[in-house]
Structure formats: structure tokens, C-alpha cells
Amino acid sequence: MRLQGKRALVTGGASGIGFAIAKRFSDEGANVAIADVNPAQADDAVKKSGGKFGRTVGDVSKLRDAERMVQEAVAQLGGLDILVNNAGIETTGSVTTADDDQWERQIGVNLNGVYRMSRFAVPEIIKAGGGAIVNMSSVGGLVAVREYSAYGASKAGVIQLTRSMAADYADHKIRVNCLCPGAVDTPLLQRACEKLGGSDPGKIRELYASFTLLKRIAQPEEIAAAALFLASDEASFITGVALPVDGGFSAQ
């Protein structure tokens, strides 16, 4: 039980990678609260957990929502030791084809959301005597992907924000790291495949898989395993790291 007695808040925790992380943390002994923008999905996730998860709803890109969600999670859990900033969205387009609203929303959720949730969670983790923050970046924050300018910029920003937070809060015994997944078998990926592949989304899945050295798409549980490692004492001497979990995509 690598997280026995720890209290963890996972954003975007109702589905996909976020739900897999919340479940794995719970299985490893943590008391978990999920935050999600979708109330119905959040309720469903709590049911799937057998009622083990706490739950709060809001938009991580909005300052007041972020403050309230942290407060509600702390009230439910009795404190906070771990924050996983997983909530994210994905839009396509270059700087000339994506409009202002797309850019603002992409940066707002993926980057500002990490800042805003951390702004209110860090003081709570300090009160607990230290802990860990795991931010969700992407392989798209490490390498350029065509027609993903806003997404890439937001995820690259998460990497640098992670490093800055690691430097700022090391004296408070808070480790801050981020994960950089490649293609993962989630509803977000499925929607992207349907958008890009039209009547044959399977072709896009095969294309994503072909880009990796392992020739497959990751499962959410594989990303959750990496998040567990970074959040646990097994990673006690690791901070400020951007860890690719991409099947070798970024190694090529």
C-alpha cells in the first residue's frame, strides 16, 4: 500500500487517465477526491469507485472554481497530501487556423488550470508537512506536432511550470513532477480519431500506434502506474522531472 493514509485530489478524475489514477491511488491506500467539470460523469465515477471517492465539480480554468474545489476536497479528505493536475482538453489548428477562443480555452484549461489548482492546493500540502504534485503534460509538450500549436504551447508551459514549482517548494518538502504521455486509449483519443478519421477512425488509431517504438497505444492504467510512482515515497529523490510515458515516441 504505497499511499496508505495519503489524501489525494485528482482533477479530470471522472474518466480516462484521471479515473485510472484515482482508482490506482485508492487501491494503494489513499483517500481520494476527484474534481471534474461534468457533474453526471463525476457522480458515475463515484459509483464506479463503490462510493470510495470524494467528489467536487467545477472548471479548473476559473479562479473561484479552483479555490472552491480545493476547499471542498480538503473538507472531504481532512487535508491534502497529493495533487494530480490531470484535467485537460485538446484542440487542433495552427496559429492561423485556430481562432482566439480556441487558443484561450486551450491555455485556460491545460496551463492556467494547473496554476490555479496549485495556487490553492500548495498551502494545504504545506500544512500537511509536504507531499507531491503530479502535473499532466504530454509528448506534445516535448516535440512539435503539426496543427497542434495551442495544445503544444499549453503542455510545454506545464513542463516549465513544473520545474518552477519544484524549485519554489522544495524547501516545503513538496516534490513537483509531470508526466508526458503519448497516445492513450481514452475518450479524448477516440474523439480525436473520429474527427480526423471520419468514417474510419481505426486508421488514425493505427497511425498513432505506428509512431511509437512499441507499436501500440497506451492504456490509462499505464499512465496511472507512472503517476503512482511519482506521487509515492519511491520517488522521494525525484523532483522537477518531465517523464515521457509514450512508448518511445519522443526517443525517435
- Residues taking part in catalysis: 151
3-class state of residue 195 by DSSP: helix
Q: Are 32 and 85 in contact (CB under 8 A)?
A: no
Q: Residue 177 contacts by C-beta under 8 Å, 6 or more apart in sequence?
A: 132, 133, 134, 135, 162, 166, 230, 235, 238, 239, 240, 241, 242, 243
Q: Are 159 and 142 in contact (CB under 8 A)?
A: yes
Torsion of CA 110, 34, 17, 192, to 10 degrees: -50
Q: Are 180 and 243 in contact (CB under 8 A)?
A: yes
Q: Are 82 and 3 in contact (CB under 8 A)?
A: yes
Q: What is the C-alpha to C-alpha distance for residues 77 and 174, in angstroms, rounded to an integer?
A: 19
Q: What is the C-alpha to C-alpha distance for residues 24 and 54, in angstroms, rounded to an integer?
A: 15
Q: Residue 195 contacts by C-beta under 8 Å, 6 or more apart in sequence?
A: 92
Query: Residue 134 is which amino acid?
Result: V
Which helix (DSSP H) or strand (DSSP E) does residue 201 occupy? helix 201-210
- Residue in the block written with cell 478519421: 197
